[in-house]
Every structure is written in C-alpha cells, then in structure tokens.
Structure 1
Amino acid sequence: MSSRNSFDGTATWPPPALDPAGPFAGPVNTLSWVLFAMAGSVLLIVLIALALALFGPRRWRAKLGGQKLVWIGGFAFPVVVLTALLIYGLGLTSHLTQEPQPGEMRIRVTGEMWWWRVAYLDDQGRERFQDANEVHIPVGETVVIELDSADVIHSFWVPRLSGKVDMIPGRRNILRLQADQPGAYGGQCAEYCGGPHALMGLVVVAHDPAAFQTWMQKQSQPALTTTSLAPGADVFRRAGCGACHTVAGTEFNGLAGPDLSHVGSRRTLGAGILPNNQGTMAGWISDSQTIKPGNRMPAYPVLTGEELRDVSAWLESLK
C-alpha cells in the first residue's frame, strides 16, 4: 500500500502518529515527546556511566561498582522516573476515557474480523442506523466512541484525533475524539487480531456541522435506486447476499456482514484497502479472498461478468 492514500486527498497511510489535528490527540502527542526525551536522557546517562566504567579513572570505576550506586541507579532511579511518568501520563490523558456526558454525540464502533461495524446512537444510546469502516463526525464537536469487540481483541487508533484504546470482548471502553478541521483521518487496528490484521483500516471523516447534519439525514433514510439497476438486486437475492447483509428498505436483513444500505457513498471497500467504485466492487464480490486473504466473505466465481456488472452497479447506486 502506498504512503499516500490514493482514494482520499487528505488521509495519509500509514497515519501520522505525531501530527495532532484535535484537542484529544494533543495530550497524547505531548506525552509521546516527553517519553522520547526521557528515554534519550536515560540512554545518555547509561552511556556516560558505561564510558566511565570502561575508560574512566580507577576511582570512578570503583564508585560505579559500589553497592550504594547500584541501589540508586538500578532501583531508586527507575522507580522514581517511571512513577513520575505514570502519574504525569495518567493525569494528562485521563479525560480521553471519561464516561459519556449528557448531550455528547455517541458512536458505537465494534471490531470484527476484520472490519469495523459503526452504529450511530441517539441521546438515549439507542441505535439510529449502521455504517461500516467509516466514522463520520462534525468538526469542532467532541464525539464519544463506545468501543466493543465481537470476537477477539482489536484496538481502535486514529492517531491524529485521539489515543489508542483496546476493544475487548465482553467489555465496553470509551474514547473521545474531535477534529479541528474538515478532512479524512486514517486509522488502523493496532492490536494483532490474526489473519489480515494489517488490512483492517478505517477512515474518520470530519464534516462542517451543516454538511454533517445533511449526511446524517441522508443516512437515516433508505437509499433510492433507479429501476434500470433492478437486475442487480435480483442477482443479490439469488446469490444469497441478503443472508449476511442488510439493505434498508428491502427484504435483505442479514446481520453477519456490513450494512450495505448506503455502501455506494463510502470512500473505501474491504476496510480501507480499495477505492470504492463499480470496478473494485465487482472484483471484491468475485474474489475477495485474493484481495484480502482470510476475510469472512466467500468468493463468488459462479457469477458471470454480466451478473457482476449488474450487482456492482446496483450497490454503487445505494448512496
């Protein structure tokens, strides 16, 4: 995968870890530089001590081998330094994982092998609609991300917007993020979860508030398709795709795979590894296992070229 995300002009790959774009990423960036500085200082002290022990005067070598200095340098110094860093780090980042407050926007992200189920919640925590592999947020507003896992341990990490928090089966963790400017911010599963873990990416898209409200209203309604693309829906039905996928406003209500109600409006396919267009959609349906080995969608080599064109055109129309 290239260093520049070819299907989004603002997101980079891999996501830059030391380029904060919001108030919740800033403290993590500060803590990182403090840790780098402390690690450099400790390394310098150790190198100086090593040089004195090997090449210094005899009296210095005797002191460095003394019991008192061993206790100070080998026990007291690490305890003091690491304790100070722990207290400083917890104080600096504690607000990132506070429980949701009344009025805060909430989005539930569930890690699955190897994609992201995204549910937008109302003020009472009830699900409004689902999306997949993209998180859309308004600029300048704090968003509470509720993190779940449906299978193994994953980890949600969008380095320009916040810290990294694990997604643990049976437990719900909290992470806050906020973007100061509109744009697309790359993210990644940061905990090895088997198989195509390295291909489990996501994008957080930050909109101006008015554009975000328009997007929310559109996503809350079933997508409209033209009658000329109806053959694709028939292929979708005959291939049994509705057993795993939901398309709002239709008979398809599967829950095992990503919700496809508005799949045509997404930027990527396969959890961030392909640009979303009719050609890549057809290729993914035909043989997703070659593109992303080990993912849980079976290949469909039985579909003819015409059937692939029909079903991919229909899915692309779901915007």
Structure 2
Amino acid sequence: MAPALTDPTAAYLAAPTKTPNLVAPEPEHCPGPESEQAGQGDACAGCPNQTICASAPKGPDPDIPLITARLSQVKHKILVLSGKGGVGKSTFSTLLAHAFATNPESTVYVCDTDISGPSIPKMMGVEAETIHVSNAGWSPVWVTDNLGAMSIQFMLPNRDDAVIWRGPKKNGLIKQFLKDVEWGEADYLIVDTPPGTSDEHLSVNSLLKESGVDGAVVVTTPQEVSLLDVRKEIDFCKKAGIKILGLVENMSGYVCGNCQTTSHVFRPTTGGGRRLARTMGIPFLGSVPLDPRVGMACDYGESFLESYPNSPASKAIQSVVRAVSEQIGEDPEKVIPSEPLV
C-alpha cells in the first residue's frame, strides 16, 4: 500500500542526513562530513564544524556492499550524462527506457537522480503516484508492465514543492534509492543525472562502482556552447573511471510534422557531436532530430515511440538504442528489432 505523507517517505524528507552531530549548518561547498576531505577542504576554513568533521570516522562506505547486493540482479546499469542543461537529457532517458521496454521480455527501470529538478515522473505519466513501502523496501512506480521509475517527485507532498538541499543530503537520498529500493531482477537500470559534474555524479559513480556500471551515454546538441560543457563531462568520465558508451547528438535537426522533412535549426559551427566524438576518441551513437511531438508526448506522459513509430526521430532513437546495445554486449536485433515498431 502507498505510504501516507507522515510515513517513511515524508519522514525522510524532513530528517537530517546521517552525519556526525554538527554545531552549525554545512557551508555551501562542504565536501561532506563523511568525506576523506572533511575538515580539510577550502570550504572548511573557519567552519564551526571543522574539528568535528576532521575527527569523524573515515573509510569505505559501509552501505556499498548493501547496494551491490541490492543491484546484483540488475544486468545492465547505464548512466545518462551531459555537462550542459537543456540538451534534452531527461527526455532522451525516457526515450531510451521506452525503447528498451518495447521488448516485452525486458524489465527496465529509470532512476531520476536530479533531486532539485525531477522530471522523469511527468514525462512518464506517473507524476501523481507515490512510493509503495513494504518490508522488502521501497517499490518503484510502474509505468507499464515492464517499465518502472524512481524519483524524489513521488515523495513530495505537492508537485510544485522545491527541494532546497545541500550536497550531503542529496547524496543521502541517492544512496536510499540504490540501497532501499526493491529493484529485483531487471535487464536495464537507466540513471538520469542532473547537468554538470557535481555531487550527484560523484555519489552515483562511487556507489555503483562495485555493482558494475556498463558506462555512460553522453548527450549533446550541435552548438559549440553545448559541446564546450560536454567536453568537460567527457573529461570527468575519464578521471572518474566511467566508461563512455558513446555520444548522442540530440536536436540535430527539425522534423516537419506534415512532410517529415528534416532541416537544421541548431547548425554545428565546429562539426557537431560527430566531430567531437572523433576528436575525443569515443563512439558516436547517432543523431536524433527534433520532433515537436516528442515534447508533446512527454507533456502527456506517453511513449513517443509507440505514438509516432514512423517519425525520423523514432527511427533515430531505435538506431541509437541498437548502438548502445552493441556497446554493452547485447545483440541489437534481440534488444530492439530493426523493423518499424507496431
């Protein structure tokens, strides 16, 4: 049964993070009381908690073995990253999930780790749902028979409530998602992340590393201003030891709803995603054109791939999914057949 707002989910929102007893709030750039840099970082200078944090126990996170055990039956774990906001990363995550879920034999989950701006529930049409709690843990919200989602949106009393949290508390909730959600046996876990190379990315990477992450799909748009930030994301992946499955160029053209002709809106001034992938030595997974009906489908929480199977955008998404399948060692024709969706 769904928990009441006064039960575990709402209680968690109001609860402090599991940290040492601090005498003052964490500063804006706090490395976290449990971090190896606690009490030693630049943000620690002059902080009333400096001595407390410096003397707190350090070492490997004791919850990592629990997370590894919880995710042991999830076959593939894929991160969706982008250093730039507004490139359609969450939209792409939902399209990727729906594409994998077109195979009825596959079980697919999407974990929304954008704590401040969760959008996956809206795009999947389950915004009004709440998390179900049982003795086995939190249950994902089911979108279809084989597609589920987890997001902080399911825990908020009102859908317009702002989540005003510092890094340590965000990281704590991400850990809850990975440790306490009853993922069970699944084929794909797609982790949608916020823009940038911030706390959430470091937390997800460190918590998932032991359980085995297949890699990251990096999303960009053709303009140089987007590629500039995506280069930083690629560098982050290399430094953090995250395998890059490939680069996707989103919004690479505009699909006319009437004649289906594709024309360029955001023209690549420096070669776009394909050239960036070649320069950085990473696979180029494909280009996905901008179809206005994608946004409409997300607004109504529908599957664009099912509603408009003959759109150039749908065919491009299928091509990208087959390319991702190859990168994770799956047979593309078994994951998503090359024939048009029906």
Same fold (TM over 0.5): no
* Length-normalised TM-score, structure 1: 0.27
* Length-normalised TM-score, structure 2: 0.26
Larger radius of gyration: 1
